[in-house]
Amino acid sequence: MSSQVNLKEAPDTTTGEHLGKEGIQALDNIIQFRGHPTKENKIDTNQIETENEPMNTPSREEIDAKIGRASAEFNSSVVGLRKDMDVGFAEVRQEFSEVRKDMEVGFAQIRADMANQSKDTIKWAIGLAVAIISILLSASIAIFNKIDKPQQNQMQPVIVNIPAQQAAPTQQPNK
């Protein structure tokens, strides 16, 4: 989206119309007060006195006293702020030291837990290694036993004992 500015609606700042009558009057008063007369409006000292607003110019001592009071107030507020900051920072330091102690206790507990877990892991690894070695050993022994022994499942030759035939009485031929 592009925004377009309508120049006809923008106020003309060169004439002072955007300030309104009160604003223009205020500017004229400021200009007159500062002693900068315009072409149309010369400073009329009689007019200032007739408005019953005599100009009181403070003396150097009064200005110095006001500046001194303002400086003292500022310094006291700065000192108060510094005290508040010191107290606040001390409280923050105390809280952080407590948090650090809690963290150190927690880290020590975590380290102990990790050491116990690593011991348990080592125990499990050793147990697993022993189990694997015993399984491999028993499997190899079983395989080598089958290779070394002749198979007992072969059929044995069957030996049949037949009793010897008795000699039949020989008959003599008839003569």
By the 8 A CB rule, do 24 and 14 touch? no
Whether pTM exceeds 0.85:
no
pLDDT tens for 108-161 read 999 999 999 999 999 999 999 999 999 999 999 888 887 766 555 667 777 878
pLDDT tens for 36-80 read 455 555 555 555 554 555 557 888 888 888 999 999 999 899 999
Alpha helices (runs of H) in 6-149, residue ranges in sequence order? 20-34, 45-50, 60-148
> What is the DSSP secondary-structure string of 44-66?
-HHHHHHTT----PPPHHHHHHH
Which residue reads 């592009």 in tokens?
Answer: 2
Summary count for the chain: helices (H), strands (E): 3, 0
By the 8 A CB rule, do 144 and 136 touch? no
Q: How many CB atoms lie within 10 A of CB 88?
A: 10
Please, which pLDDT band fits residue 19 given cuts at 50, 70 and 90?
low
Residues 6+ apart with CB under 8 A from 29: none
